Protein backbone atom coordinates (compact mmCIF):
# COMPACT_ATOMS: atom_id res chain seq x y z
CA UNK A 1 0.00 0.00 0.00
CA UNK A 2 1.47 3.35 -1.01
CA UNK A 3 1.35 6.32 1.31
CA UNK A 4 -1.33 8.99 1.04
CA UNK A 5 1.27 11.55 -0.03
CA UNK A 6 2.45 9.63 -3.10
CA UNK A 7 -0.29 10.37 -5.60
CA UNK A 8 0.49 12.55 -8.61
CA UNK A 9 -2.04 13.83 -11.15
CA UNK A 10 -0.73 15.13 -14.46
CA UNK A 11 -2.55 16.50 -17.48
CA UNK A 12 -2.08 16.35 -21.20
CA UNK A 13 -2.23 19.63 -23.08
CA UNK A 14 -5.77 19.51 -24.44
CA UNK A 15 -7.39 18.13 -21.27
CA UNK A 16 -5.89 20.75 -18.95
CA UNK A 17 -9.28 22.48 -18.53
CA UNK A 18 -10.78 19.28 -17.06
CA UNK A 19 -7.68 18.07 -15.23
CA UNK A 20 -7.54 21.27 -13.17
CA UNK A 21 -11.11 20.68 -12.01
CA UNK A 22 -10.39 17.02 -11.22
CA UNK A 23 -7.32 17.93 -9.16
CA UNK A 24 -9.27 20.65 -7.35
CA UNK A 25 -12.09 18.24 -6.54
CA UNK A 26 -9.56 15.70 -5.32
CA UNK A 27 -7.89 18.30 -3.12
CA UNK A 28 -4.47 18.48 -4.71
CA UNK A 29 -2.53 20.40 -7.36
CA UNK A 30 -1.69 19.19 -10.83
CA UNK A 31 1.83 17.94 -11.37
CA UNK A 32 4.14 20.13 -13.40
CA UNK A 33 4.57 19.25 -17.06
CA UNK A 34 6.51 21.01 -19.79
CA UNK A 35 6.47 20.37 -23.50
CA UNK A 36 9.53 20.76 -25.70
CA UNK A 37 8.63 21.49 -29.33
CA UNK A 38 10.95 21.12 -32.29
CA UNK A 39 10.74 23.02 -35.54
CA UNK A 40 9.74 19.90 -37.51
CA UNK A 41 6.65 19.37 -35.35
CA UNK A 42 8.13 16.75 -33.03
CA UNK A 43 7.48 17.27 -29.32
CA UNK A 44 8.67 15.77 -26.04
CA UNK A 45 6.68 15.99 -22.78
CA UNK A 46 8.62 16.24 -19.52
CA UNK A 47 7.31 15.54 -16.00
CA UNK A 48 8.97 18.34 -14.06
CA UNK A 49 8.77 16.78 -10.60
CA UNK A 50 9.73 13.44 -9.14
CA UNK A 51 7.32 10.52 -9.51
CA UNK A 52 9.58 7.83 -8.05
CA UNK A 53 7.39 5.48 -6.03
CA UNK A 54 4.24 7.51 -6.77
CA UNK A 55 0.89 6.36 -8.14
CA UNK A 56 0.65 8.51 -11.26
CA UNK A 57 -2.67 9.46 -12.91
CA UNK A 58 -2.37 11.03 -16.36
CA UNK A 59 -5.53 12.76 -17.64
CA UNK A 60 -5.91 13.06 -21.42
CA UNK A 61 -8.85 12.50 -23.76
CA UNK A 62 -7.80 11.11 -27.13
CA UNK A 63 -10.06 13.05 -29.46
CA UNK A 64 -8.54 14.12 -32.81
CA UNK A 65 -5.92 15.09 -33.76
CA UNK A 66 -3.87 11.98 -33.06
CA UNK A 67 -1.30 14.18 -31.32
CA UNK A 68 -3.42 13.87 -28.16
CA UNK A 69 -2.98 10.09 -28.16
CA UNK A 70 0.75 10.30 -28.91
CA UNK A 71 1.23 12.83 -26.12
CA UNK A 72 -0.50 10.49 -23.66
CA UNK A 73 1.70 7.58 -24.74
CA UNK A 74 4.86 9.68 -24.32
CA UNK A 75 3.77 10.84 -20.85
CA UNK A 76 3.10 7.24 -19.78
CA UNK A 77 6.54 6.23 -21.05
CA UNK A 78 8.14 9.16 -19.20
CA UNK A 79 6.45 8.18 -15.93
CA UNK A 80 7.46 4.53 -16.33
CA UNK A 81 11.09 5.43 -17.01
CA UNK A 82 11.03 7.75 -13.97
CA UNK A 83 10.19 4.78 -11.70
CA UNK A 84 6.53 5.55 -10.98
CA UNK A 85 4.95 2.94 -8.68
CA UNK A 86 1.88 2.56 -10.92
CA UNK A 87 0.47 4.50 -13.86
CA UNK A 88 -3.22 5.02 -14.60
CA UNK A 89 -4.38 6.62 -17.83
CA UNK A 90 -7.50 8.68 -17.18
CA UNK A 91 -9.12 8.91 -20.62
CA UNK A 92 -12.51 10.65 -20.28
CA UNK A 93 -13.09 10.25 -24.03
CA UNK A 94 -11.51 7.15 -25.58
CA UNK A 95 -11.02 7.99 -29.24
CA UNK A 96 -11.06 5.41 -32.05
CA UNK A 97 -13.69 3.49 -30.04
CA UNK A 98 -16.00 3.32 -33.04
CA UNK A 99 -13.41 1.05 -34.66
CA UNK A 100 -14.24 -1.89 -32.40
CA UNK A 101 -14.69 -4.62 -35.03
CA UNK A 102 -14.13 -5.48 -38.68
CA UNK A 103 -17.37 -4.33 -40.30
CA UNK A 104 -15.93 -4.81 -43.78
CA UNK A 105 -12.83 -6.46 -45.26
CA UNK A 106 -9.33 -4.98 -44.92
CA UNK A 107 -10.01 -2.43 -42.16
CA UNK A 108 -8.20 -1.88 -38.89
CA UNK A 109 -9.67 -2.54 -35.45
CA UNK A 110 -8.44 0.79 -34.15
CA UNK A 111 -9.68 0.41 -30.58
CA UNK A 112 -7.66 -2.79 -30.10
CA UNK A 113 -4.57 -1.15 -31.59
CA UNK A 114 -4.86 1.77 -29.16
CA UNK A 115 -5.27 -0.67 -26.27
CA UNK A 116 -2.07 -2.43 -27.34
CA UNK A 117 -0.19 0.87 -27.61
CA UNK A 118 -1.26 1.97 -24.12
CA UNK A 119 -0.28 -1.37 -22.61
CA UNK A 120 3.09 -1.37 -24.37
CA UNK A 121 3.76 2.18 -23.15
CA UNK A 122 3.45 0.87 -19.60
CA UNK A 123 -0.01 1.74 -18.29
CA UNK A 124 -1.29 -0.28 -15.30
CA UNK A 125 -4.93 0.83 -15.34
CA UNK A 126 -7.43 2.63 -17.58
CA UNK A 127 -10.16 4.93 -16.26
CA UNK A 128 -12.60 6.02 -18.95
CA UNK A 129 -16.23 6.97 -19.55
CA UNK A 130 -18.98 5.68 -21.83
CA UNK A 131 -17.02 3.61 -24.30
CA UNK A 132 -18.77 3.38 -27.64
CA UNK A 133 -18.88 -0.40 -27.16
CA UNK A 134 -18.62 -2.14 -23.77
CA UNK A 135 -16.55 -4.99 -25.20
CA UNK A 136 -13.60 -2.62 -25.68
CA UNK A 137 -12.83 -3.26 -22.00
CA UNK A 138 -11.81 -6.76 -23.07
CA UNK A 139 -9.20 -5.35 -25.46
CA UNK A 140 -7.04 -4.49 -22.42
CA UNK A 141 -4.99 -6.87 -20.29
CA UNK A 142 -5.00 -4.34 -17.43
CA UNK A 143 -7.94 -3.27 -15.20
CA UNK A 144 -10.45 -0.91 -16.81
CA UNK A 145 -12.74 1.29 -14.71
CA UNK A 146 -15.62 2.10 -17.05
CA UNK A 147 -17.68 5.02 -15.75
CA UNK A 148 -21.13 6.08 -16.93
CA UNK A 149 -22.41 9.60 -17.53
CA UNK A 150 -25.84 8.42 -16.37
CA UNK A 151 -24.49 9.07 -12.86
CA UNK A 152 -24.78 12.76 -13.75
CA UNK A 153 -27.53 12.70 -16.37
CA UNK A 154 -30.21 10.69 -14.52
CA UNK A 155 -30.42 13.08 -11.52
CA UNK A 156 -30.42 16.05 -13.89
CA UNK A 157 -33.22 14.65 -16.04
CA UNK A 158 -35.20 14.01 -12.83
CA UNK A 159 -34.65 17.65 -11.77
CA UNK A 160 -36.26 18.88 -15.02
CA UNK A 161 -39.61 17.50 -13.80
CA UNK A 162 -40.80 16.68 -17.32
CA UNK A 163 -44.33 15.29 -17.54
CA UNK A 164 -45.11 12.48 -20.03
CA UNK A 165 -41.40 11.67 -20.23
CA UNK A 166 -40.20 9.25 -22.91
CA UNK A 167 -36.61 8.02 -23.31
CA UNK A 168 -35.40 7.57 -26.87
CA UNK A 169 -32.48 5.81 -28.50
CA UNK A 170 -31.25 7.41 -31.75
CA UNK A 171 -30.49 3.95 -33.19
CA UNK A 172 -30.84 0.24 -32.49
CA UNK A 173 -27.29 0.05 -31.14
CA UNK A 174 -28.11 2.45 -28.31
CA UNK A 175 -31.25 0.62 -27.18
CA UNK A 176 -29.49 -1.01 -24.21
CA UNK A 177 -28.39 2.40 -22.91
CA UNK A 178 -31.87 3.89 -23.42
CA UNK A 179 -33.48 0.90 -21.70
CA UNK A 180 -31.29 1.50 -18.62
CA UNK A 181 -32.38 5.14 -18.44
CA UNK A 182 -35.98 4.07 -18.99
CA UNK A 183 -35.86 1.71 -16.00
CA UNK A 184 -34.25 4.23 -13.65
CA UNK A 185 -36.62 7.02 -14.65
CA UNK A 186 -39.71 4.76 -14.84
CA UNK A 187 -40.46 6.07 -18.33
CA UNK A 188 -41.39 4.31 -21.59
CA UNK A 189 -38.83 3.98 -24.38
CA UNK A 190 -38.89 4.52 -28.12
CA UNK A 191 -36.25 3.65 -30.71
CA UNK A 192 -35.21 5.34 -33.93
CA UNK A 193 -34.33 2.98 -36.74
CA UNK A 194 -31.92 4.49 -39.24
CA UNK A 195 -30.30 3.42 -42.48
CA UNK A 196 -26.92 4.80 -43.56
CA UNK A 197 -25.55 4.69 -47.09
CA UNK A 198 -22.14 5.89 -45.79
CA UNK A 199 -20.61 7.13 -42.49
CA UNK A 200 -22.14 10.33 -41.03
CA UNK A 201 -24.99 10.32 -43.57
CA UNK A 202 -28.46 9.08 -42.54
CA UNK A 203 -30.59 8.19 -45.55
CA UNK A 204 -33.80 7.01 -43.87
CA UNK A 205 -35.17 7.05 -40.33
CA UNK A 206 -38.35 5.84 -38.63
CA UNK A 207 -39.54 6.02 -35.02
CA UNK A 208 -40.63 2.82 -33.27
CA UNK A 209 -43.00 3.80 -30.47
CA UNK A 210 -45.42 6.56 -29.49
CA UNK A 211 -44.12 10.12 -28.94
CA UNK A 212 -47.34 12.09 -29.38
CA UNK A 213 -47.73 14.73 -26.63
CA UNK A 214 -44.58 13.42 -24.94
CA UNK A 215 -41.46 15.17 -23.68
CA UNK A 216 -38.73 13.13 -25.35
CA UNK A 217 -35.19 12.72 -24.02
CA UNK A 218 -32.71 11.16 -26.46
CA UNK A 219 -29.68 9.52 -24.83
CA UNK A 220 -26.45 8.70 -26.65
CA UNK A 221 -22.71 8.40 -26.07
CA UNK A 222 -21.38 10.61 -28.88
CA UNK A 223 -22.60 13.57 -30.90
CA UNK A 224 -20.40 13.79 -33.98
CA UNK A 225 -21.94 15.61 -36.96
CA UNK A 226 -25.35 15.67 -35.19
CA UNK A 227 -27.05 14.32 -38.30
CA UNK A 228 -28.75 11.41 -36.53
CA UNK A 229 -29.67 13.48 -33.48
CA UNK A 230 -31.27 16.39 -35.32
CA UNK A 231 -33.05 14.16 -37.83
CA UNK A 232 -34.49 12.13 -34.95
CA UNK A 233 -35.56 15.27 -33.07
CA UNK A 234 -37.29 16.79 -36.10
CA UNK A 235 -39.01 13.48 -36.92
CA UNK A 236 -40.34 13.15 -33.38
CA UNK A 237 -41.67 16.70 -33.44
CA UNK A 238 -43.43 15.89 -36.72
CA UNK A 239 -45.03 12.90 -34.97
CA UNK A 240 -46.49 15.16 -32.27
CA UNK A 241 -43.85 15.25 -29.55
CA UNK A 242 -44.21 18.16 -27.11
CA UNK A 243 -40.44 18.70 -26.87
CA UNK A 244 -37.17 16.89 -27.61
CA UNK A 245 -33.98 17.13 -25.55
CA UNK A 246 -30.74 15.19 -25.90
CA UNK A 247 -28.19 13.95 -23.39
CA UNK A 248 -24.91 12.75 -24.89
CA UNK A 249 -21.62 12.15 -23.14
CA UNK A 250 -18.98 13.16 -25.67
CA UNK A 251 -19.47 16.40 -27.70
CA UNK A 252 -17.29 15.64 -30.72
CA UNK A 253 -19.40 18.14 -32.71
CA UNK A 254 -17.54 18.01 -36.00
CA UNK A 255 -18.37 19.44 -39.43
CA UNK A 256 -21.91 20.89 -39.65
CA UNK A 257 -22.91 19.82 -36.10
CA UNK A 258 -23.38 23.31 -34.65
CA UNK A 259 -25.44 24.51 -37.62
CA UNK A 260 -27.61 21.40 -37.57
CA UNK A 261 -28.37 21.79 -33.87
CA UNK A 262 -29.19 25.47 -34.33
CA UNK A 263 -31.56 24.77 -37.24
CA UNK A 264 -33.26 21.75 -35.67
CA UNK A 265 -36.35 21.64 -33.46
CA UNK A 266 -34.40 20.20 -30.56
CA UNK A 267 -34.91 22.23 -27.37
CA UNK A 268 -31.63 21.60 -25.56
CA UNK A 269 -28.54 19.40 -25.82
CA UNK A 270 -26.76 18.36 -22.63
CA UNK A 271 -23.19 17.09 -22.84
CA UNK A 272 -20.25 16.53 -20.48
CA UNK A 273 -16.80 18.12 -20.53
CA UNK A 274 -14.89 14.96 -21.56
CA UNK A 275 -14.16 16.98 -24.71
CA UNK A 276 -13.96 20.80 -24.66
CA UNK A 277 -16.60 22.59 -26.73
CA UNK A 278 -15.15 24.25 -29.81
CA UNK A 279 -17.41 27.23 -29.15
CA UNK A 280 -20.41 28.05 -26.93
CA UNK A 281 -23.93 27.49 -28.24
CA UNK A 282 -27.22 28.63 -26.69
CA UNK A 283 -28.79 25.17 -27.04
CA UNK A 284 -25.80 23.25 -25.61
CA UNK A 285 -25.37 22.91 -21.83
CA UNK A 286 -22.29 21.32 -20.25
CA UNK A 287 -22.41 19.15 -17.11
CA UNK A 288 -18.99 18.47 -15.56
CA UNK A 289 -17.59 15.00 -14.85
CA UNK A 290 -14.69 16.35 -12.75
CA UNK A 291 -16.14 15.39 -9.36
CA UNK A 292 -16.92 11.85 -10.54
CA UNK A 293 -13.41 11.27 -11.89
CA UNK A 294 -11.86 12.75 -8.74
CA UNK A 295 -13.87 10.35 -6.58
CA UNK A 296 -12.89 7.37 -8.73
CA UNK A 297 -9.21 8.35 -8.60
CA UNK A 298 -9.49 8.55 -4.81
CA UNK A 299 -11.07 5.10 -4.61
CA UNK A 300 -8.53 3.54 -6.96
CA UNK A 301 -5.65 5.06 -5.01
CA UNK A 302 -7.00 3.87 -1.67
CA UNK A 303 -8.01 0.44 -3.04
CA UNK A 304 -11.70 0.99 -2.34
CA UNK A 305 -14.59 -0.42 -4.35
CA UNK A 306 -16.01 1.45 -7.32
CA UNK A 307 -19.54 0.15 -7.02
CA UNK A 308 -23.21 0.94 -7.48
CA UNK A 309 -23.20 3.44 -4.61
CA UNK A 310 -20.98 5.67 -6.77
CA UNK A 311 -22.48 5.49 -10.23
CA UNK A 312 -25.43 4.26 -12.24
CA UNK A 313 -24.81 2.09 -15.30
User: Which residues participate in catalysis according to the annotation?
Assistant: 194
At how many degrees (to 10) do helices 175-185 and 150-159 cross?
50
Return the exposure string of 225-257: e unless at least 16 CB atoms fall within 10 Å of the residue's CB, then b: bbbbbbbbbbbbbebebbbbbbbbbbbbbeeeb
Amino acid sequence: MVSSSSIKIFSGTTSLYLSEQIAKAYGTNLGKVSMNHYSDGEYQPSLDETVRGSYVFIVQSTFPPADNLLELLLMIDAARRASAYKIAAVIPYFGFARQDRKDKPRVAIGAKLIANLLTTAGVDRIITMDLHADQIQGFFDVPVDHLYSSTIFVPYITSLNLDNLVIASPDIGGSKRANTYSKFLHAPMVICHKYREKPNVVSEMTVIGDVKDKNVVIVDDIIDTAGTLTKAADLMMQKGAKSVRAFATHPVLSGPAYDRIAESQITEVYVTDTIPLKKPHPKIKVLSVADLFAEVIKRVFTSKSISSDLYTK
